Amino acid sequence: MSACADASSTSGDVSERYMARASAANSQDSQLISSAAPTAHNGADSAKSNAANNAANNAANNATPASATLPTIERDKARQIDAERRFAARVPSAGGLSATRSRALTLRDCGIDGSLMFARDVDFRVTGEIGFMIHDMAATLSPTRAGQPVVFDDPTSTTIHVHRGHVTLDSAKLSAIFNRYLFQYQGSPLRNMRVVPQDGGTLRITGDMRRDTWVPIVLSGSLSMRNPEQLVFHADHVEVAGVGADTLMRAAHVRMADLLKVDTPIARLDGDDVVMQVAKLTPPPTLSMTITRIDTSAAGVRFTLDDGSLPKLDWPATMPARGLLVQGGDVKFMRSMPMNIDMAIVPLTEAGTNPAANASDNANANANADADADAPFVLDLYHYREQMAAGYLSFDETGALDVQLPSYPALASTAKASQTGSAGGIGSASARYNDSLLRAQQASLAQARTVWQYVPRNPRMASAPRATPVGTRAAFAGRSFAIPGSALAAKPNDERHSQAPAPLIHVQNVDFYVAGRIGFHVRSLDAQMVPKKPGEPVDFDDPNQYDIHIIGGEVVEQWPAMAALFNDYLLDYQPRSLNDLQLKPADGQLEVSGGIKLWNHFPGVWLPTTLSGTLVAQDERHLVYRPTQVKVLGVPQAGLLRALDIPLASLTPFARQGVELKGNELVFDQYTVFPPPRLVSRLASATVTDEGLVLKFKHSGTAVARPPAGAGNSYVWIEAGDVKMFNSLVTNTRTYIEDSSTAGSMKFDLYGYRRAVSKGTVRMGEDGTLSVDLAARK
């Protein structure tokens, strides 16, 4: 019962966060975006900050206006883009903390250095047991290199500035810091350290010290602050080899520093005091914190942290009951970088296990939850990828996301790591602390990056018909100049760029809608999404920003969708000569019926009209409809018109982007007849069938995407290149989209993808691959 109640509570927290975010988004959408006050740790000049904010506002507000001359579909999309850009350009302020924009907003950079972080009831581990239990905390995550994102995979990239909070180090954590970090190095004078906090405000430290041989030692004393940067353990009682040594040491004027040589970058012996550097007590990331109070009991050492910048800790409206909230700045996870982030990291809910996971995964998650629903939520920074791969993400339509993770000890990988000893290691003598922890983490990161950054040697840019193909062989031979659609001279470890060419996409058995009812059924299609401005990522939200170059494949423009193309898009203007067109096949030809007004206005009512004729591919780009029969009010008119040499175009003028009535022929331009993005293709054939108009495309010879093994029968696969979806930039992407709730063809709406994805789940593999399931979350 308690587990179910906790699950219900957690599920409610998620709903409340979505409601709070929606309210905040609506509030921001109704007012001008203004610059925010700088944080205590941001020294950006106010004028520079204001200029950057103005540039961001201009970028957000200078989107193509929803002009009345555009079709409704494009006007609605323009309004949607405007709202999304305003949200992306916001300057977060929460819990008494504010971010500051120092650079202009771009598709690769939100222009804000650092992120606001709030944490509550999180057992935060840097690695293993090294870490601290966060009861409550407000902090700022600052990149160590200006202009770069906070990188979860690289702890050296970040400094955590703690403004206010309370944390506890229990016996296990204190022992891990002493035994596995401070004194776990070659030539260390201490080993087998164990630290036990005791009621009364004292610590008992046991271990072995080197005196020609290893001798047991016991130290008892208190912990205090010497100054804001230094923590001091003062030994009041000393036992050596089980014998009290206090009296002898006082009589002989011997201090601990005379018995032990401890002088490391983190700790040193000064008389009977062990002096420790607060900022270096744990492996990176660097901790910048001011300890104002220390309370020691059998439960552990509790630190009160306060740098004086916050009078009190106010939780933001979207703060989860248990977990972390990160807002503002760019934060990168493997391949993915949420920009101007709004992210909650919470424990995987007991009743809300991932509906996209298989049955065994959910069974394991439920078993772990049932084992101890009240167990601490453990987040292990150096192993977060394993937690991420075992959890899932969910977006809302604004781009804010919730990340649900299992607690790290619940993963089978933790037991495996313990058995193999991979969590161990000894530091170098020169470092004089256990630097092997970071070396192992950085080696793991380097190995992972080779996977994330790998680009096949042979992909080429798709090119328009009759245009000279643009090769990329030189770029992949190691030269630094740019290729169209790729990063401009991207550096090997540039977190905002990849060296990959424009994204490749493979669509298999999908009802692919561009907007509303307009689209086609894709039997199988290979294409490349090419940004119009070289060096930019493909912005999924802005269909005018990129083109789709079709490499090869086959689609069916079903007749209802083709009718929608006319009625919802091509005929969305006044005055017009055609109205309410319906299409159907008839004996191998195409029959089109609808209303007609001669010369766009005569007569004042629509005259029922039926046309019948052939629809063929004229060349690699154009389709031509040639009516052989014309009936107006049921009376045949084609013969009369031919006898009088009167073309249809003179009676019913019709010219829109992508389609035009020329003489007696209706000519379609496959590049531009659909709403954006532009579809660049090489038509091989067009066949009228009962199902719809079957279009086959010639293969361009360009390399195609390679869907992963085990791909289903209906999916979208995006590979290589940099893609921006929601407010997240994915570099050298690998994204798989399916709908596990349907056995047939998945429906995918390009203009409405945010709405569809926000109802489903996203999983992130340890190689950074994103698996998007559009099936509705339970």
pLDDT digits (tens, 9 = 90+) for 56-110: 555 554 444 444 578 999 999 999 999 999 999 999 999 999 999 999 999 999 9
- According to DSSP, the residues that pair with 312 across neighbouring strands are none
- Gap between the Cα atoms of 323 and 557, Å rounded: 48
Predicted confidence at residue 228, as pLDDT, reads 86
pLDDT of 355 reads 47
Cβ neighbors of 776 (< 8 A, separation 6 or more) are 355, 741, 759, 760
CA dist 145 and 20 (Å) reads 33
**Which residue type sits at 511?**
D
Tell me, what DSSP letter sits at residue 456?
Answer: -
Q: Which own/partner contact pairs does 266-272 have at CB distance under 8 Å and 24+ positions apart?
A: 266/181, 266/182, 266/433, 267/182, 272/221, 272/234, 272/235
For position 414, what pLDDT does the model report? 63
pTM over 0.75: yes
Beta-strand pair 300-306/291-297: antiparallel
pLDDT at 250: 81
CA distance 204 to 225: 18
- Look at the chain and count its residues: 778
Please report the pLDDT score of residue 489 as a whole number.
Answer: 40
Which of 355-380 are b and which e, b meaning 16 or more Cβ less than 10 Å from the residue's Cβ?
Answer: bbbeeebeebbbebbeeebeebbbbb
Buried b (16+ CB within 10 A) or exposed e, 190-225: beebebbbeeeebbebbbebeeeeeeebbbbbebeb
pLDDT at 55: 53
pLDDT value for 631: 82
- Within a 13 Å sphere around the CA of 72, how many CA atoms are in the beta-carbon half? 11
Residue 57's pLDDT is: 53
Residues 733 and 744 sit within 8 Å (Cβ to Cβ): no
Query: What are the phi and psi torsion angles at 41 (to 5°)?
Result: -110, 15
Alpha-carbon distance values, 663 to 170, 592, 647, 667, 706 (Å): 85, 17, 5, 10, 45
pLDDT of 32: 32
Low-confidence residues in the chain, pLDDT < 70: 1-68, 350-373, 412-424, 457-493, 602, 633-646
- Say how many Å lie between the first and final Cα of the chain, rounded: 20
What local confidence, expressed as pLDDT, does residue 110 receive?
96
